[in-house]
Structure 1
């Protein structure tokens, strides 16, 4: 099996030498093997949805275009995957919207606290124009936005006690994604935000380097964080989604008919992902609570009030405010 270091060295080197194809695209009489990465485990809904894309592409092209997946963070963190896709070392990657905030500012609107009221609200906004506007913003930096996937309701979990109001977070060291929005939000809640990659969270909880984290319950279960953090608090502070990206180099290197098929198949994969998400999220919730994790509802109004200064600051940007208003109009 190719390890991460060898893959990166070969892929980046080849990408520099060949403008339209890195070592991840193997061309032989018009055949392409595309590479896709994800930090989540092999049965996670986003991984399964991308696998479905690969199977569909292989079937519809008679094996001319196939897909090889590297799941479970085999090729590194999301931030590394974004850069690899931009420079053509890999073809596709699924990343959390928060990891894109700095390079692609329109994604900030999707990550603001309490901008979405629920999963149906988030899906409605993505389907009715907001998602299209965000995806179009990737084209300027070597990437193409293919689809926006669910990431559920993000909530707090920790090793200490139930979180019902922001004051319950005071002094706790809480893992957040490497995102300015989440770091600033946690500070407003009184916590000590600690940016870490997803793969570092379990050991951080076990060693008490951190007291808790925030994520959706599907990831709480699949990462086995529930074995170390026994308190789950339903704060619903974010419904920020995931984004499926493809390298512009990859699309340019495909035949026009294959390019169109990939874009359309990715669009159709959103429905596949949502069905998988709904079923697996329910199973994850049942499993972690059956395992003895204590769970509680939180005062959502109190958290929304505490996060208001952050929301007001980001809405000073006219482009962010316009997207925010479109999202709220669909609530």
Structure 2
């Protein structure tokens, strides 16, 4: 067993070394000994995404890759690996930090481990609607958060849409009172656990891939996510009740390994950054289309959908959670308020 683990470490190290070597060949164009201009090296880079090939984030990834190829005349090729082919979210981020994987698309929530300010997106009922969220994301404060990952050896490039998150369960959900006592799966984060505690539910962190079987066996009563994930994961087959409370709006982030980023010429950094930003429109349109399709699918499947008409009871219940975050990051909360 030890020898296998040792071989695995060697393989990962060799992979990281090969990627670094590839990026090292992408220096700024210079001059050779005879004064002629050197031809910039070709690069083939990898982008990891854990969603299926037709999912909006992967559509955005591919648009980004196409734009980079087009704007470098094919000199830089980005290969997109969907469906978790390069590993789960946690292992992918570790490899991105090493430089063994060049790009990743991940949710902002787990990135709060590396930049605590990103936890702002997990603060419940902080954003009134999608327009409010995107006004903040496109603000100076919002874009600066992408650079806050540099100390963790990652470079944020752009935000992708991920809609709003809502609670769903195998038991009826018609009001905030119905959540009391329910075991609800959440992403592993202190903020999410405190949020469920405030609502009277029992927070149950677990890997995303285990949720469907946990719903089947009754280990959990429900979970929370956006509509496309509720659909694509088939959770709606076991959880026939969803309440549209929109408690969080947590964007996705397209990012690059800082190891590889630092090896790029200034010209290529500009191309890659702008291509990421320009891919957002395609991803957001794909998201809007997918949400409509998902809503129709779960409706046809007989899921009971409850719209929350008065958020006041929900907001009041979680006010201590929001206030606690605001004490640590008052300027960030102020920037969110100003983005309305």
Q: TM-score, normalised by structure 2?
A: 0.88
Shift of the alpha carbon at 1:253? 2.7
Name which of 84, 93, 96 aligns with 2:104. 93
In 1, the alpha carbon distance for the partners of 2:257 and 2:149 equals 10
Q: How does 1:92-111 map to 2 (within 5 A)?
A: 92-111=103-122
Alignment of 1:1-331 (within 5 A): 12-14=12-14, 17=17, 20-21=20-21, 30-165=41-176, 167-298=177-308, 299-317=310-328, 320-331=329-340
Kindly state the Cα deviation for residue 239 of structure 1 after the two structures are TM-superposed.
Answer: 0.7
Structure 1 residue 25, shift from structure 2 partner: 9.7
Check conservation: 1:26, 1:33, Cα contact below 8 A: no
C-alpha distance in 1 between matches for 2:208 and 2:330: 30
Q: Larger radius of gyration, structure 1 or 2?
A: 2
Gaps of 5+ in 2: 27-38
The worse-fitting range, judged by mean Cα deviation, of 98-107 and 70-79 is 70-79
Helix, strand or coil at the partner of 1:295: strand
Q: Does the CA-based 8 Å contact 1:126-1:148 persist in structure 2? A: yes
Equivalent pair of 1:169/1:190 in contact (CA under 8 Å): yes
Count of matched residue pairs: 322
- The offset of 1:254, in angstroms, is 2.9
Deviation at 1:97, TM superposition (A): 1.2
Q: Which runs of 5+ in 1 are unaligned?
A: none
Q: 2 CA distance for matches of 1:193 and 1:80?
A: 24
Contact 1:234 / 1:296 at 8 angstroms: preserved in 2?
Answer: yes
Separation of aligned partners in 2, 1:254 and 1:133: 21
CA 281–25 in structure 1, closer or farther in 2 if over 3 Å, else same: farther
Question: Following the alignment from structure 1 to structure 2, what is the Cα–Cα distance between the partners of residues 86 and 170?
Answer: 40
**8 A Cα contact 1:25 1:34, kept in partner:** no
Please give the root-mean-square deviation of Cα atoms over the aligned residues, in Å. 2.3
**Cα distance in 2, alignment partners of residues 50 and 74 from structure 1:** 14
Q: TM-score, normalised by structure 1?
A: 0.91
Distance 1:71 1:285 in 2: 23
What is the DSSP-based 3-state SS (H/G/I as helix, E as strand, rest coil) of the residue aligned with 2:254?
strand
Once the two structures are TM-superposed, the CA of residue 136 in structure 1 deviates from its matched residue by 1.7
Displacement after TM superposition at 1:324 (Å): 1.1
